Structure 1
Amino acid sequence: MTKLDGTLQMLKDLTDAKGIPGNEREPREVMKQYITPFADEVTTDGLGSLIAKKVGNADGPKIMVAGHLDEVGFMVTQIDDKGFIRFQTVGGWWSQVMLAQRVTIVTRKGDVTGVIGSKPPHILSPEARKKPVEIKDMFIDIGASSREEVVEWGVKPGDMVVPYFEFTVMNNEKMLLAKAWDNRIGCAIAIDVLRQLKGENHPNVVYGVGTVQEEVGLRGARTSAQTIEPDIAFGVDVGIAGDTPGVSDKEAQGKMGDGPQIILYDASMVSHKGLRDFVTDLADELNIPYQYDAIAGGGTDSGAIHLTHKGVPALSITIATRYIHSHAAMLHRDDYENAVKLIVEVIKRLDRETVNQITFD
């Protein structure tokens, strides 16, 4: 295995952590561990979003950089007499990426390993084999023989179920494979933005935020933004990589390694023109690569943040990522590092006068 440098170890710790919506304690503790040395204050809101505050100019504008802590997963809902477990998806799943995948059920007694199963194709009719198995017909097998055995092992309704996959550096060491890039990469960006601002003068107060429950309705972004009342906000998340076979530029423009994605439009918001222009003009000036994208469906934390308080100029900056909302997703380290560099350089220039100009641009 490739020896992990400090950044890769942080990314491993973040992505290996288990935390579906409403169960973000473990990734929150990892983020807190890494971001605390660079923050003046670390708190949580009532839903559990982590808020790390770094003061440059205490009288300057408030800048929020938000990634979400939660990952897509499942929740135990029923246990049948034979010890098979029924579940609810938590966040968006495509049925074709689920079958025969290993999962971890997190219980009060410890972790329990399972696999997602269904009726075998060998006993289906030829017509049925051609159709994807519906999620409602799937179950989790933990090797138990009865409901009593499942209960004895500590599994009960409401327990979270998390995809199992270990962080992996590919042969091309720029390519990183992990579960939960959506959106521990956003949390990593928030950590590294504060890290790079350590000891730097910046004319504002910066908040690195790990929000909760993004995958079920951008909920923690709303409560954390109400707590902070930011003047400017960046939602940092994964985007769609359109550089795999069969995908046209019309369907998805993003390409891994071509820089962070500036989101023009998604189902949750229209990006703020003044902020978008400020960011891309600076990227052009500093020769930081970036690419545009527009996503007809889905949204990011920016969608909730920009509607809080009196309205917040917001922009989503994303990392082109393959195979999101599955057990294993892939992204490019250069895109991550360039996103951090761009956001840091933007923050250094966001004084009160500039923010006022952006707000009304």
Structure 2
Amino acid sequence: MDGMKEMDEIQRLLERLSNAHGISGREGSIQEILREEMGHLVDDVRIDNLGNLVATRRGRRPSVMIAAHIDEIGLMTKYVDEKGFIRFVTIGGWFDQTLLNQRVIIHADSGPIWGVIGSKPPHVMTPEDRKKPIEVKDMFVDAGCESQEEALGLGIKPGTPMSIDRTFARLAGDRVTGKAFDNRAGVVMMIEALKRTRTESTIFAVGTVQEEVGLKGARTSAFGLSPDVALATDVTIPGDHPGIDKKDSPLEIGKGPVVIIADASGRGIITTSKVVSWLAETAKEFEIPVQMEVSGGGTTDATAIQLTREGIHTGVISVATRYIHSPVEVLSLKDVDACAELIARALETAERYFKPD
């Protein structure tokens, strides 16, 4: 496959996954896409008790786990009031103002229903009201229902998931925008790496669930698989646009994969020197530019994997992505391609660094 076709395939995959819907704990539609896109690349695919999709390509040791979380942040119905308006809770880390006046898809028993997140109109706000940010507790979803009975009849009830109605779009150059790049971009990286690698090691390609609400799927799947080494794929925050300074993040879109040295000020992962050397030296050998990250912010599935059993050698390869945890995330397709290439080559060099006993 030449470079242009690879980029087209990355865009196709990312668009398909970004436009699909699967909030934390309700990732079934994403599992089905992974079965279709990855099934022919592995020996078997199964869903474990928590809902993680585990695809295995059998080989020799060291065994390598690739973890890409498949859930997205979203909403869940709390109750429907007597007039048919839907009150909800957030699932995952939303900034309240990002949600205001968004259109949503309610994944009801009767099928998808569209709604809008409403609040008090600015025309009737007092001057004091206008100075205050509107909180989620004061928002609601209007699906057009005129009564609680109508909503319940459509299958909108406590526990019904909702996701943002936003679709993938191409920007200038190789930049694209869409929802849920966190972490459907990481899923693309995992699939593309499987296509490209020539490793003879056993690979566990895992679409983990419920990362956004506590790294849950990574913890259980890593315990069950007990790999010799693991790589988590995810997105991370660049400091290359207005509103954020380089002192907060020196990363940039278009400058290649990001290797995490430490995140969450060490409360998350502190990647061991052995793993950092593996990824950095592999990148140098194959002339893949990389960026190194030490951050005080969030963490990834790697934190849970690293602390499984007696400890697992674990690293993170991320793609710099603007406006994370919004419906308009932005990244570079070339960065996604380079991340997939680094993972593919790291799978091939893992045996040098993690020889089994």
Alpha carbons 1:14, 1:27 under 8 Å: kept: yes
Aligned to 2:246: 249
Q: Give ranges in structure 2 of 5+ residues lacking alignment.
A: none
Work out which of the residue numbers 204, 212, 216 in structure 2 matches 1:219.
216
Quote how far apart the aligned CAs of 1:325 are: 0.8
Q: 1:2-30, CA deviations, whole angstroms, 9 ceiling, x for partnerless residues?
A: x9933322212211111111100001110
The aligned counterpart of 2:319 is: 319
The TM-score normalised by the length of structure 2 is 0.94
1:289-342 residue CA offsets vs partner (Å, 9 max, x unmatched): 111122212210001001112200111111111111111211101111111111
* 2:88 paired with 1:91: no
For 1:216 and 1:305, locate their aligned partners in 2 and report how far apart those are by CA, in whole Å: 15
- Counterpart CA distance in 1 for 2:34 and 2:179 is 16
In 1, the alpha carbon distance for the partners of 2:132 and 2:281 equals 49
Q: Is the 1:203–1:350 Cα contact (8 Å) retained in structure 2?
A: no
CA separation in 2, counterparts of 1:178 and 1:297? 22
**Structure-to-structure mapping, 1:242-281, within 5 angstroms:** 242-267=239-264, 268-281=268-281
2:302 is the alignment partner of 1:299: no
Report SS of the residue matched to 1:61: strand
From 28, 31, 39, the equivalent of 2:31 is 28
How much does 1:356 deviate?
A: 4.3
Aligned partner letter, 2:354: V
- Tell me which amino acid in the other structure corresponds to 1:105: I
Residues 73 and 163 of structure 1 are in contact (CA less than 8 Å); yes or no, is this contact kept in structure 2? yes
Task: Summarize the alignment of residues 129-208 of structure 1 with structure 2, pairs less than 5 Å apart.
Answer: 129-172=130-173, 174-197=174-197, 200=198, 202-208=199-205
TM superposition shift of 1:96: 1.5
Once the 2 structures are TM-superposed, how far is the Cα of residue 190 of structure 1 from its aligned partner?
A: 1.2
TM-score (norm 1): 0.93
Contact 2:257–2:289 under 8 Å retained in 1: yes
- Partner SS state of residue 5, structure 1: helix
Choose from 222, 228, 231 the match for 1:231.
228
How far apart are the structure 2 equivalents of 1:5 and 1:277? 32
| Alpha-carbon RMSD | 1.7
Quick one: distance in 1 between partners of 2:181 and 2:342?
A: 20
- Do structure 1's residue 17 and structure 2's residue 14 form an aligned pair? no
Contact 1:63-1:347 within 8 A present in 2 as well: yes
| 1:355 corresponds to | 354
Shift of 1:86: 0.4
Q: Which amino acid aligns with 2:175?
A: M
Distance, in Å, in 2 between the alignment partners of 1:262 and 1:278 is 11
CA distance in 2, matches of 1:188, 1:209: 12
Name the residue aligned to 1:7: 10
Q: Is the 8 A contact 2:233 2:316 kept in 1?
A: yes
Give the secondary structure class of the aligned counterpart of 1:210: strand
Which is further off, 235-244 or 282-291? 282-291
Q: Does 1:45 align with 2:48?
A: yes
Amino acid at match of 2:240: D
State the SS of the aligned residue for 1:78. Answer: strand
Structure 2: how far apart are the matches of 1:230 and 1:56? 13
Alignment partners' CA distance in 1, 2:335 and 2:100? 31
Cα deviation per residue 1:62-118 (whole Å; 9 max; x = unaligned)?
101111010000000010111110001000000111111111000111001011111
Unmatched segments (≥5 aa) in structure 1: none
Kindly provide the CA deviation profile for residues 178-215 of structure 1, in whole angstroms up to 9, marking residues without a partner as x.
Answer: 11111111111111111113xx3x24111111000000
Count how many residue pairs are aligned between Structure 1 and Structure 2. 349
1:140-183 per-position Cα deviation (integer Å, ceiling 9, x unaligned): 111111111211222111010001111112232x1111111111
SS of alignment partner, residue 311 of structure 1:
coil
Q: Which amino acid aligns with 1:240?
A: I
Alpha-carbon contact 1:231-1:355 (below 8 Å) kept: yes
CA distance in 1: counterparts of 2:56 and 2:138, whole angstroms: 46
